[in-house]
Amino acid sequence: MALTIGVVGATGAVGRKMIDVLGERMLIDVSLRFFASKKSAGSFLEYRGKKIIVEELTEEVMKEKYDYLIFSAGSSVSKKYAPIAKDAGNTIIDNSSYWRMEKNIPLVVPEVNAHVLEDYKGIVANPNCSTIQMLVVLAPLHRKYRMKRLVVSTYQAVSGSGQAAIEELENQLIDDNHPNKVYTKKIAGNCIPHIDVFCENGFSKEELKIVYETHKILEDNTIEINATAVRVPVYSGHSESVYIEFDNEVDKECVTKTLSKSPGIVVIDDLSKNQYPTPLEIADTDSTYVGRIRSDLYNKKAISLWIVADNLRKGAATNAVQIIEAMENIKKKENNYV
C-alpha cells in the first residue's frame, strides 16, 4: 500500500529538494500531495516524471489523513498548521526551527538518535543544517570517548538563506555595485560572521542553535560548546572546522577507524594526495564527509576535524526523508515481532 506524503512549502528551494530526495530514496510507492501559498497554488511540480498540481495550504487540507507531512515553509507556517495536522492524527516532520527545543518533541538525526522515534506519533523536528552534519560525525566519537568541550566554526553556503540569496551572490559576481538585500554586507568575495540575529551574549541565534540542539540530541548538556557561524560566497554545501576535547587521550588512528565504521560518514583524508572534502566536490550527495583529522599539537585529549555536507540534502531534505525511513523501519520491526 502506498504511503501518503504531503510536502508543505513544496515550491521553495528545500521543498523542491525534498521532492527530489523522495523520488530517489523511496523504495515503495508514494502518493504525494504538494502544498504552498495561494500565490503558487495551481502550478505543477514533477515527481518521478509525473506532474502533480500544487494545492493551496489551508486548515482544511491539514485536517485530512496522511502517513507523513513534511513541513518546509518557515516557522510561522509550522506554528499555525503543524498542530492542526497533529490533532488530526498525522505525523509531521518539521524543517523549521519552531519546534526544535520543545521538551516533548523529538529532535532527530537518524544516524544518532532514531531510538526516540519508537512508539511516537506527532511532530518530529528536523535539526539545524549545521547541527545535523556535525553530530553525524561527533556522535560516534562521543559514545566511544566522551566529548568534554568542542569549538566549531561553520562556513555556510548562501543556499541556506534561500533562492534570493543565491541570486544575490550571482548578481554581485556579475555587477560589483549590485546592492545587498538578503545579507547585512556584500557576500561576493566576502565572509560574513553573522547568521540570524545577534543575542545579548554576543552570539548569534544560529550559533546558539548548534549549542542547544547538540545538548538535546546527545542528551548531554555538560558538553561545553563554542560556535562561530560564518556565511561564505559558496552556492551549496556547509563546511565546519571542529576542535574537540575528550575525557581521555585519543589519537588520529583510533578516531579515523571509529568514523570509517560509522553510518552516514565518508572519510576523505589522504594529505599526500591532497584528498579532503570540499563543498563543490560533494554537492548533491547524502553523506557527511570528514577529513583533515589531526591530533592536537599540545593536548593529547584533543582532535581537530573538517566536516562537509550538502546543506539542502543531508542538512535538510535527506535528513527529513531518513526520519520517515527510520519510522517505517520501526513499524516493520514491530509488525515482525507481533
DSSP sequence for 88-157 = TT--EEE-SSTTTT-TTS-B--HHHHGGGGTT--SEEEPPPHHHHHHHHHHHHHHHHH-EEEEEEEEEE-
Tell me, yes or no, if 199 is annotated catalytic.
no
Separation between Cα atoms, residue 250 and residue 252, nearest integer Å: 7
The active-site residue out of 129, 142, 199, 215 is 129
Q: Which three cell numbers stand for residue 274?
A: 591532497
Helices (H), the chain: 13-25, 59-62, 75-87, 110-113, 129-145, 163-174, 205-218, 252-260, 279-282, 318-337
Tell me, yes or no, if 215 is annotated catalytic.
no
Q: Is the dihedral of CA 77, 315, 192, 98 positive or negative?
A: positive
- Active-site amino acid positions: 129, 238
